[in-house]
Amino acid sequence: MSDYFKSDDRYIYLVKKYCEFYIPMSYFDGTSGFAQDMGPTINVMGIFNVGFFEDGKLLETRIMNLPSWITVYVYDSVVKSIKLPGEPEPVQCKVLQYYEGNKVMNATIIEDSENCERYMDFVLKGKVPSSVPYDASLRLWRKNQAMNAVHLGVPSVIEELILSATYRYKDDVTQKFARVIGKDPKNISQYDYKAVNVRQICQFTSTFTAVTFEDIDSMITSSLNRSREHKEEAVSPIEQVIKM
């Protein structure tokens, strides 16, 4: 986004007439959320949509590509529903408004292993915005580690396995999105996924794994629906042992 912002090595400023930051209100949920409203500033995971305007008209929407904990300055803000790329329904967002010359954020980001832990939580809770293309998900995770001088100490295939499990096909969450787009890459969009909380995966795979989850009511419901619709079940090795 270098054509929209400039830096004096201390701060980053907006050089265009007007832009808006769209931070989903879900980011602010709970003490371990992905955004903290500090009044004049907001600490936030730097992956959210940014809208650029000219003469009152939206020119384009881009992703703030800073997968780490950043601090943005607040001038004017409003909470409203915004139609974001990749999202089927409008998303309730805190909209931060910036005008030409406004100081947006600090020019440097502090290296901290906690930023890596927070981003992993971001991935595992399915909070990566749907406007991030699926093929960029691994690249963003690696960028987060590089920005904070951290290496998870595992082969890349482990990270890919986690992503493939948490990214589900939006039209049928029982299917991994990687499998669906791999079969038909020309007709399936990189945005046709739904990122889910890793704790929900057992809900989508099989009746056996579903009943091991603490929310037994929703698991029974999903299992009954799976049986009624005759959907394929993933068989657990433990299930096979028990049946023996």
**Whole-number Cα distances in Å, 124 to 100, 163, 196:** 37, 8, 8
* Lowest mean pLDDT, pick from 108-112, 168-172, 213-217: 213-217
Percent of the chain whose pLDDT exceeds 70 = 81
What mean pLDDT comes out for the span 136-148?
Answer: 93
The CA distance from 126 to 68, in Å, is 16
Over residues 219-236, the mean pLDDT reads 54
* φ and ψ of 27, to 5 deg: -65, -25
pLDDT number for residue 71: 94
Residue type, 212: T
Q: What is the CA radius of gyration of the chain?
A: 20
Alpha-carbon span 164 to 203, nearest angstrom:
16
pLDDT band of 238, cuts 50, 70, 90: very low
pTM listed for this prediction: 0.78
- Is it the case that residue 234 has pLDDT exceeding 60? no
pLDDT at 74 over 60: yes
- For residues 222 and 201, the answer to whether their CB atoms sit within 8 Å is no
Residue 139 token pair: 């690249």
Residue 202 · residue 215 · CB < 8 Å: no
In this prediction, residue 174 carries a pLDDT of 83
Mean of pLDDT over the chain: 84
Write out pLDDT tens, residues 8-61. Answer: 989 999 998 999 999 999 899 876 588 999 999 999 999 999 999 998 899 999
Once rounded to an integer, what is the mean pLDDT over residues 224-231?
56
